[in-house]
């Protein structure tokens, strides 16, 4: 190991070890104590708002200078409103039920043993994420409420912002007599720190990567600790032959343009061929008015020929790779499908098991879609943008799991717990 790598390892290991020690303290806190800390953390953020915004502006200017896309800059940029939303998220977590200590089941055996299954914290959670500073606050709040310590490893593009956020959050901790190591922070930008963190068995109990497909696959492939895959969202809306055009238009526009940089925004629109000639010109005009670039299949381009001639900068032929791409931008692939089966087959091939929607007034078709599509969240006549811990009533989320174990969909408090069996006896021994 080189001197540089040795220094890096020491920096990462120190944060993990300190978090491990802090986790023991956090696991003993009452709900009231945890809520007081969360409120103190929120107050500290508000008190530091100007410092946070100054640091964030430097990060944003660097991102602009480095040619980052508008969507990435949007993820990075903070404002007074976004800081207030972070604090609001912490306050909402305060009002949510504390899952730690919940008795999941009780069994009394014939020999007199009483076996309780009790929710407990996971221990130390490693959050590895890109761009979005709000993840720093969300992760700290949710892990604190569930009695877990966290080690944060954000992207280098937000290093200044995250540093001030963590400093502020730690003030809230220490004001309430808790160790600041409960919120660990890797302040080194080198990529090697990720590999080191996700291989620390015995110190890290769970790793949660949030970001692009490259980051997530790297963590999944290299980790020696348990991992929950989150966030990659190649999401679809399928407009069925029996769709209400007004509903379909509203849903598609919202799901694509309300915030295109997030993982629950759609990337592909599928349209039943029997309504394509009537619906596509309507939705295409609205998409173009929102500055969306349309990448259409051959049938789509043929139907949109007139618009295509007028808007060649907004309508282009789709390539095969467009249907498997998470654009995270004002770009939408469109495909005309023969029927619902072809739509489901397309989603099964290209989707990332995140969020999928059908627009239809046909209840039979809708139920078939909801049952057959394999995704964490499936929608009927609603935008995929609702796949979110806040919208589901979970409070701020720590991520959206696209796998099936041990959590799926928006991950709130319960997803950050495990359980143990507590057995009470009166001298029983096994014969």
* Distance of alpha carbon 301 from alpha carbon 6, whole angstroms: 57
Inter-residue contact 389 to 94 (CB < 8 Å): no
- Measured distance CA(219)–CA(217) in Å, rounded: 5
Report the candidate in 72, 10, 3, 83 with the shortest Cα–Cα distance to residue 49.
Answer: 83
pLDDT tens column, 220-266: 999 999 999 887 899 999 999 999 999 999 999 999 999 998 899 99
Residue 61, H or E segment: helix 49-65
pLDDT grade, residue 158 (50/70/90)? very high
Helix (H, G, I), strand (E, B) or coil at 307: helix
CA 351 – CA 383 distance, rounded (Å): 16
The predicted pLDDT at position 397 comes to 80
Q: Could you read off the pLDDT of 277-296 as tens digits, one per residue?
A: 999 999 999 999 999 999 99
Helices 134-145 and 159-175: crossing angle in degrees, nearest 10, is 30
pTM of model > 0.85: yes
What's the pLDDT score for residue 2?
60
Q: Looking at residue 193, what is its pLDDT?
A: 96
Q: Rounded mean pLDDT of 92-121?
A: 97
Structural element, H or E, at residue 170: helix 159-175
Under DSSP, is residue 319 helix (H, G, I), strand (E, B) or coil? coil
β-bridge partners, 400 = 410
- The rounded mean pLDDT for the chain is 95
The sheet carrying 183-185 orders its strands as 183-185, 149-153, 124-129, 206-210
User: Strands across the sheet with 331-337, in order?
Assistant: 315-317, 293-296, 331-337, 266-272, 235-239, 355-359, 377-380
- What 3-state DSSP class applies to 250? helix
Residue 298 clears pLDDT 80, i.e. is over it? yes
Q: Is 353 helix (H, G, I), strand (E, B) or coil?
A: coil
CA distances from 264 to 55, 258, 319, 355 (A): 28, 11, 22, 6
């Amino acid at each position: 190991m080189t001197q540089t790598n040795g220094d890096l390892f020491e920096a990462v290991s120190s944060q993990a070890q300190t978090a491990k020690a802090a986790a023991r303290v956090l696991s003993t806190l009452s709900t009231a104590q945890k809520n007081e800390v969360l409120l103190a953390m929120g107050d500290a953020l508000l008190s530091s708002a100007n410092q946070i915004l100054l640091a964030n502006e430097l990060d944003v200017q660097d991102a602009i200078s480095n040619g980052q896309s508008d969507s990435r800059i949007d993820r990075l940029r903070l404002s007074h409103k976004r800081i207030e939303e972070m604090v609001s998220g912490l306050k909402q977590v305060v009002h949510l039920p504390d899952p730690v200590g919940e008795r999941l089941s009780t069994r009394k055996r014939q020999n007199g043993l009483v076996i309780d299954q009790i929710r407990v914290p996971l221990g130390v959670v490693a959050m590895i994420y890109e761009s979005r500073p709000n993840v720093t606050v969300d992760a700290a709040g949710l892990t604190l409420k569930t009695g877990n310590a966290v080690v944060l490893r954000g992207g280098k593009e937000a290093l200044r912002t995250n540093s001030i956020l963590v400093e502020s959050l730690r003030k809230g901790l220490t004001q309430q007599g808790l160790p600041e190591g409960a919120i660990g922070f890797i302040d080194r930008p080198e990529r090697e720190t990720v590999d080191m963190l996700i291989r620390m068995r015995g110190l890290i109990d769970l790793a949660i990567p949030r970001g692009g497909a490259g980051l997530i696959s790297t963590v999944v492939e290299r980790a020696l600790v348990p991992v929950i895959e989150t966030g990659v969202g190649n999401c679809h809306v399928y407009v069925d032959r029996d769709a209400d055009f007004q509903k379909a238009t509203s849903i598609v526009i919202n799901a694509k343009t309300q915030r295109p940089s997030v993982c629950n925004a759609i990337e592909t629109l599928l349209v039943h061929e029997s309504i394509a000639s009537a619906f596509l010109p309507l939705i295409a005009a609205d998409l173009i008015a929102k500055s969306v670039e349309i990448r259409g299949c051959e049938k789509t381009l043929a139907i949109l020929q007139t618009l295509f001639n007028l808007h060649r900068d907004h309508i282009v032929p789709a390539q095969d790779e467009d249907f498997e791409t998470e654009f995270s931008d004002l770009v939408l692939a469109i495909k005309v499908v023969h029927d619902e089966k072809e739509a489901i087959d397309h989603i099964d091939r290209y989707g990332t098991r995140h969020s999928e929607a059908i627009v239809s007034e046909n209840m039979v078709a809708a139920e078939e879609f909801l049952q057959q599509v394999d995704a964490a969240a499936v929608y009927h006549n609603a935008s995929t943008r609702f796949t979110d811990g806040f919208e589901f009533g979970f409070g701020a989320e720590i991520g959206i799991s696209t796998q099936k174990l041990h959590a799926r969909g928006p991950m709130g408090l319960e997803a950050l717990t495990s359980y143990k069996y507590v057995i009470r006896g009166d001298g029983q021994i096994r014969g």
